[in-house]
Amino acid sequence: MTSLTKDDIGASSSRARGAVVQYTDCACRPPAQHEIGTRSMIAAKLASLKDYEFAGDYDPARRYTGPLYFVPSDTLTGSELVRKLGIRDHHDLFGGVVPYPFAATKTITHPLVSSDAFAPEGWSHEFARSVQGVVLFGFSAFSPADLRRATARVLARGRARFKPACGIGGRGQTVIMSAANLEAILDTIDPAELALYGAVIEQNFDRIETYSVGQTYVADLLATYYGRQLLTRDNRDVNVYGGSDLIVVRGDYDDLLRLELPPEARRAIKNARIYEAAASRAFPGWLASRRNYDVAQVVEDDGRRSCGVLEQSWRIGGASAAEIAALEAFRADPSLRWTRAACFEVYGQHQAPPDAVVHFRGVDDRVGPITKYSQVKPYDNS
């Protein structure tokens, strides 16, 4: 299944009352406190949207009386796990399912550096060819030797950027000026983790604006959006993800494209749709009820503008709070066709606006003081 359309809506409305449960994959990176708090609030809101009860963390030993709707901490991997949990389609989870570990990470986006490079199980050369025109220049690598070769190829064009496969919010990324910079990074990498998930070496740009493009489907509500990502400074004075400001429509991509959108937004949407369609073809068993694509608009050294998908997110993510806020607005007003929804992550001591819904406010054991909140504002399509 590629992009969700209005024809996909309806099957969930006839299902019996059930429970929304959170699921944490122990094999993945343990969530931070602010991620746990935000996910719990979103899960409770999803329960309300589906008219289910919120049952907290999933307990495999518990006998649940109705159907379950999962809110995983990460993209689920493998058909065996999905069968075990009883997930059949996008009505059963907020997030996505992929057949191989690398497909849930940034490394799905770029090709290997050469035909003889190490490829993990399930690697799709066809996917890499299909998205070549809608991603930035770069490579994915699953061994130190291939990372070195990829870095040399990218450095021949200018500066490079190292991106860990499972990093979120820009954390762990490093600008590489020379091969020596990469060697320092390689000293910190677990070879077994590199072989499983890989890492990305991508051309670095100073002038970059990142769009979010995506869809969220819950119960009988389908919302599609585009918007801009916000940057902020964290408690270590490092630039990180600071939120998303989205224009959201009730319906699918065709409904979104009926708005008066700027050309760069239309290009970002087009690239995201090509990327998603390629993933659907290349990876049997792929499904997602929450689809988000980071799409970069960059200015190259010669002044040319380029547009490329940076990564996908088929799991609960930074923009999910805004997405759910938009769905709540659509549920509250059946005549509402479009709205503006935003979410923010502010570091240090901060007081959210009076009209905001606060998802987390406190001192996180990893990032320090942080406040996360969302807002919904009217959007004038004229």
- The domains located in the chain, with CATH, are 6-101 (no CATH), 103-203 (3.30.1490.20), 208-377 (3.30.470)
Q: What is the pLDDT of residue 6?
A: 63
Which burial class, exposed, middle or buried, applies to 332 when counting CB atoms under 10 A from its CB (0-12, 13-18, 19+)?
A: exposed
**pLDDT average per 10 residues of sequence, the chain (382 residues):** 63 67 77 88 96 95 94 93 93 96 95 96 95 96 97 95 80 88 92 93 92 96 96 91 96 96 95 97 95 93 87 94 97 97 95 93 93 93 66
Q: What is the pLDDT of residue 27?
A: 58
- The number of CA neighbours under 13 Å toward the Cβ of 30 is 4
Q: What is the pLDDT of residue 12?
A: 46
On whether the CB atoms of residues 235 and 346 are closer than 8 A, the answer is no
For tokens 């690697």, what's the residue? 123
Q: What is the pLDDT of residue 99?
A: 95
Q: What is the pLDDT of residue 28?
A: 58
Q: What is the pLDDT of residue 35?
A: 87
Q: 17: which DSSP letter?
A: P
Q: What is the pLDDT of residue 29?
A: 66
Q: What is the pLDDT of residue 304?
A: 83
Q: What is the pLDDT of residue 239?
A: 86
Q: What is the pLDDT of residue 13?
A: 44
Q: What is the pLDDT of residue 125?
A: 95
Q: What is the pLDDT of residue 34?
A: 87
pTM value is 0.91
